[in-house]
Structure 1
Amino acid sequence: MPTLEEAQKEIIAEFSEAADWEERYQMLIEIGDELPVLPPELKTEDRLVPGCQSRVWVVPEEKEGKLFIQADSDSAITKGMIALLLRVFSGRTREEIKLASLEFLKEIGLDKHLSMSRRNGLYSMVNKIRSF
Structure 2
Amino acid sequence: MSLPPLASEALQSFAACQNWEQRARLLLAWGARLPALDGQQQCAANLVSGCESKVWLVAEQREGRWQFRASSDARLVSGLLAVLLARVNGLTGDELQQLDLPAWFSQLGLARHLSPSRSNGLTAVLQRMQQLALG
Q: Deviations over 1:77-128 (max 9, x none)?
A: 1011111111111122111111223322112232211122112111111111
The answer to whether the 8 A contact 1:50-1:124 is kept is: yes
- How many residue pairs get aligned? The number is 130
1:57-72 equivalent positions in 2, closer than 5 A? 57-72=56-71
Greater Cα offset, 62-71 or 48-57: 62-71
Q: Structure 1 residues 115 and 14, CA, compared in 2 at 3 Å: closer, same or farther?
A: same
Residue 59 and residue 5 in structure 1: after superposition, are their counterparts in 2 closer, same or farther (change >3 A)? closer
Please state how far the C-alpha of 1:13 moved relative to its aligned partner: 2.0
RMSD: 1.6
Bigger mean CA offset, 98-107 vs 76-85: 98-107
Match of 2:80 in 1: 81
Alignment partner, residue 106 of structure 2: 106
Counterpart-to-counterpart distance in 2, 1:10 and 1:74: 25
Q: Give percent identity, aligned residues only.
A: 33
Q: Which moved more, 1:55-64 or 1:10-19?
A: 10-19
Do the aligned partners of 1:11 and 1:104 also contact (CA within 8 Å) in 2?
no
Contact 2:59/2:67 (<8 A) preserved = yes
TM-score for the superposition, normalised by structure 1: 0.89
Change (3 A) 1:5 1:68: closer
For residues 120-131 of structure 1, the aligned pairs below 5 Å read 120-131=120-131
Which runs of structure 2 are paired with 1:1-132 in the superposition (5 Å)? 3-4=2-3, 7-102=6-101, 103-132=103-132
**SS of the counterpart of 2:57?**
strand
When normalised by structure 2's length, the TM-score is 0.87
Unaligned residue ranges in structure 1 (runs of 5+): none
What amino acid maps onto 2:75 in structure 1? A
SS in 1 for 2:68: strand
Secondary structure (helix, strand or coil) at the match of 2:40 reads helix
Once residues 37 and 10 of structure 1 are traced to their aligned partners in structure 2, the CA distance between those partners, rounded to angstroms, is: 21
